[in-house]
Structure 1
Amino acid sequence: MAQTLKDDVKESIVANAVTVFARDGYEGATVAAIARSAGISTGNVYRYFDSKETLFEAAISPSFVDGFLALLRAQLRSARGHVDLDTLPPDASYRIAAEELLRFAIEDRLRLIVLLGRSQGSRHEAVAETVVQELVEQAVAHFRELRPGLRLSAPVRLMVEQAYRSLVATVVLVLATFDDEHRIRAAVTAYSRFHLSGLKALFEGIETGPRNRKNS
């Protein structure tokens, strides 16, 4: 007689998988560790998922990734053309989009930790760098609207990329360090102000107009 798979057991396996992936990363996590976390046998996990990869895909689903990227892109679009984001009123589209993204991160922080910081070796390992590059392109477009003729040298672009890699890594660190909303919000707000002020100073130091030297 075939054994019946139970939805609550499957959901428990997935929930515990998210916890283990957030703690150990995709490469470091094992099905045995996930089984221990769920309080069941390794063999029982394999009744529901035939591999660690399929379990990872259930834990960090394409719909989760798409939802996160949609919120991020909405925030990026809403930031365009504003000289100083800190001065925007609470009902500004940027503020609303930023709050939606932060709420998403707080409510599903473990999955976001995995997606942006612990997914090496998985199908989603490139997402963090994709986020970095989209943030860079948005920043460049934003400052070019404010300063027509702005040109980025290779060294400056590298610094902008590093600034955004640091931003993504810091978000992962904050979500991994704190599990309460108040501390997450405080940390994200503090670092965002630091990041934006540094980015503004970096772009304001760039000359505008045609390049005069090769490899500039």
Structure 2
Amino acid sequence: MQTLKEDVRQSILRAARNEFQSHDYTGASMRRISAAAGITTGNIYRYFTNKEELFEALVGPIYEKIVHYILDLKKELERSYAGEDNGLKYLNMVEETIVGLFLEYSAELTILMNRSSGSKYGQVKERMVSLIVTILEDAFTAGPQNAGELTTADRQSARMLAGTIVEGVCLILREHEDGETVKRLVNEFVFLYHLGMQHRCTR
């Protein structure tokens, strides 16, 4: 059997990135991907068993990065509170690193957040909202005016804000392809979120 070549695999992934940006997971075509990669449809299956495996190779690592990043933020928040910080230190981590993540992986993030319907990542936005809710709830209960108890109003606010964050990011990725534009808009979005959270956590 001919040795599989990494440059061919990367060519397939590039073609898949373009295909999945233009079509939802269910509407994407392995035939179009193979044609764009310059190989036969039969040959593409020597590299990826099916469309699901190809999609996983493209967006799976990015999803893991996002989840790991969000969980790191949660840990940093908990450390800030344990050290009697005002709990806002972690927000600086958002501003310093999230923009780089979106600049480097804007295409993959667009696919993951807006084009994954029908795949195992079809509920990814809801998962992101749930993770962000846990961070916001911690921030609300640890504020200087709070007694560490989460009220119904706090839960509602956390859910609303988390949904707004995720949908705002999805909107930016859906409407803009240029990496620098995405970077600028995400940076502005995160900055405004930062200001709002500062006010909410210190009031």
TM over 0.5: yes
**What CA RMSD, in Å, does the superposition of the two structures yield over aligned residues?**
3.0
Q: Find out whether 1:135 has 2:132 as its counterpart.
A: yes
State how far apart, in whole Å, the 2-side matches of 1:34 and 1:159 are. 43
Q: CA deviation at 1:111?
A: 1.5
Q: In structure 1, what residue type is equivalent to 2:68? A: A
State how far apart, in whole Å, the 2-side matches of 1:100 and 1:27 are. 32
State how far apart, in whole Å, the 1-side matches of 2:57 and 2:21 are. 14
Q: CA deviation at 1:8?
A: 1.0
State how far apart, in whole Å, the 2-side matches of 1:156 and 1:67 are. 28
State how far apart, in whole Å, the 2-side matches of 1:201 and 1:50 are. 51
Structure 2: which 5+ runs fail to align? none
Residues 158-203 of structure 1: CA deviation (Å, up to 9, x unaligned): 453243223112213323414233x323312322344455567778
Structure 1: which 5+ runs fail to align? 86-91, 206-216
Aligned partners of 2:95 and 2:190 also within 8 Å: no
> Which position in structure 1 is the counterpart of 2:170?
172
Identity fraction in percent: 28
> Which position in structure 1 is the counterpart of 2:23?
24
Taking the TM superposition and a 5 Å limit, the aligned residue runs for 1:66-215 are 66-79=64-77, 81=81, 83=86, 85=88, 94-96=91-93, 98-146=95-143, 147-148=146-147, 150-153=149-152, 157-158=155-156, 160-176=158-174, 177-181=176-180, 183-196=181-194
Number of aligned positions between the proteins: 195
State how far apart, in whole Å, the 2-side matches of 1:202 and 1:17 are. 42
> Which position in structure 1 is the counterpart of 2:37?
38
State how far apart, in whole Å, the 1-side matches of 2:155 and 2:198 are. 14
Residues 27-54 of structure 1: CA deviation (Å, up to 9, x unaligned): 2212122223323332232232221111
> What is the TM-score of this pair, normalised by structure 1?
0.73
- Which gives a bigger RCO, structure 1 or 2 (Cα 8 Å, sep 6+)? 2
Worse-superposed segment, 185-194 or 26-35: 185-194
Larger Rg: 1
> What is the TM-score of this pair, normalised by structure 2?
0.77
